[in-house]
A = this chain, B = another copy of it.
Amino acid sequence: MANASGFFTHPSISSMRTRTHLPITVSGSGLRVSKRFSKRVLCSSLSSLDNNASPSQYRPPRLVPSGCKLIGSGSAVPSLLISNDDLAKIVDTNDEWIATRTGIRNRRVVSGKDSLVGLAVEAATKALEMAEVSPEDIDLVLMCTSTPDDLFGAAPQIQKALGCTKNPLAYDITAACSGFVLGLVSAACHIRGGGFKNVLVIGADSLSRFVDWTDRGTCILFGDAAGAVVVQACDIEDDGLYSFDVHSDGDGRRHLNASVKESQTDGALSSNGSALGDFPPKQSSYSCIQMNGQEVFRFAVKCVPQSLESALQKAGLPASSIDWLLLHQANQRILDSVATRLQFPPERVISNLANYGNTSAASIPLALDEAVRSGKVKPGHTIATSGFGAGLTWGSAIVRWR
């Protein structure tokens, strides 16, 4: 069912308050109970609208925990390709300088009638097709982005355009380049802890709209894209999210941000009679991306290996048992440094930023999708993935593909 609903609390359960585990599974809109208990609980549930029932009598039933697994991926990029040579025409840079320092050769940029929603819908559609899940079976859409087409978020537009006819919840997670990994963790929590069944996690950004294209330090780095995965509930034995490790440090915000610009104001009087220079506020907007590249680099090469090691330890898995290292595609030097720290051989490191640059929340699912469709990442493969960026925020997860 597309409408997830969380837990039931039945009055009949209160008499079963001993720690027996009822074989009850949380489903999209209700509970399914085993045959043994069904008659008693179902009979009680028929009287669930007993007007004498009070909340103090309710005890939530035990739940059979659910697992979750990744079952489909998709991606989409704008058609406009901007090479390093193109950038050299508008800022003082060159192909060799960019490529040696970042690994980036080309990036895609939204233009004309492109929209982030359009890219996200294309990516999500492909992911749903691979997963063999219909849009009407989606019960949660998580759009991970910092650059939505609407201040109030992009997810509902995507939900509509995908044809999710049962009005599943759709909202945005705003967490910059860590967004997709946080979206995966959130999807897992909603499945395991909230009864959701088919969660679409989209990572999409069009940072080109917030880049200062006269600043050669930043404009060479970023590109636009969308990537998506379908995360589905499954038996706990088949669970595919082995562990995660997630953090933020707001102290590092000064190294990477896009602040709201202070409003200019006209004078006006308020109720207390004094002239106030601040009302009404003029409309706000967000600054271009400001970044201290050196500090962000230092943060990434220090925190990402620590986080991955922590996630590996929690999963009880050595790095040598992991098939692929899939990092946020920010800079090849970061990828190389992390891979070396963790002793991942280069052939097991997924990298496509040469073609797309840093696509923020899209980068991990975009690289994953290309690796899946090229046959590199196969069903059963384990992936150590890590997103990191503005916040500062960083998060790692050990996942199995299918």
Contacts and interface: CB of A to CB of B under 8 A. Distances in A.
B156 A147 contact: no
A31 to B, nearest CB: 9
A246 interface: yes
Contact of A392 (B156, B185, B237, B270): B156
A102 interface: no
A278 B151 contact: no
Interface stretch (A18-26, A329-337, A351-359): A18-26
Interface in A73-112: 80-83, 85-86, 89-90, 106, 109-112
B391 A156 contact: yes
Residue among A156, A167, A210, A251 with the highest chain B CB neighbour number at 10 A? A156
Contact of A53 (B168, B175, B208, B321): B321
A87 B167 CA distance: 38
A79 to B, nearest CB: 10
Nearest to A44: B316
A254 to B, nearest CB: 10
B270 A80 contact: yes
A111 to B, nearest CB: 4
A159 B249 CA distance: 7
A3 to B, nearest CB: 7
Contacts of A168: 247-248
Nearest to A116: B260
Interface stretch (A9-17, A126-134, A362-370): A9-17
B185 A6 contact: yes
B249 A167 contact: yes
A153 B391 contact: yes
Interface string A269-297: 11110001011110111111000000000
A194 interface: yes
A192 interface: yes
When all copies of this chain in the complex are counted, the total is 2
A226 interface: no
A135 to B, nearest CB: 12
A314 B8 contact: yes
Interface string A132-161: 000000000100001111111101111111
Contacts of A58: 242, 315-317
Contact of A22 (B64, B171, B174, B256): B64
Contact of A259 (B67, B112, B150, B272): B150
Contacts of A247: 3, 167-169
Contacts of A146: 151-153
B151 A52 contact: no
B21 A268 contact: no
Interface in A191-210: 191-194, 208-210
Nearest to A391: B156
B170 A248 contact: yes
B111 A208 contact: no
Given A8-B242, A169-B248, A170-B250, A258 B395 contact: no
Interface string A155-191: 1111111000001111111111011001001101111
A152 B173 CA distance: 10
Contacts of A276: 80, 111
A161 B170 CA distance: 30
Q: Which 8 residue pairs across A and B have the least CB separation, nearest first?
A: A193-B193, A160-B250, A192-B193, A111-B278, A156-B250, A152-B390, A48-B316, A213-B280
23 contacts: A5-B311, A7-B242, A49-B318, A51-B318, A55-B321, A60-B242, A62-B236, A80-B276, A81-B272, A109-B281, A111-B281, A112-B278, A141-B248, A150-B253, A150-B286, A151-B210, A169-B393, A169-B395, A170-B393, A171-B174, A186-B189, A193-B193, A209-B284
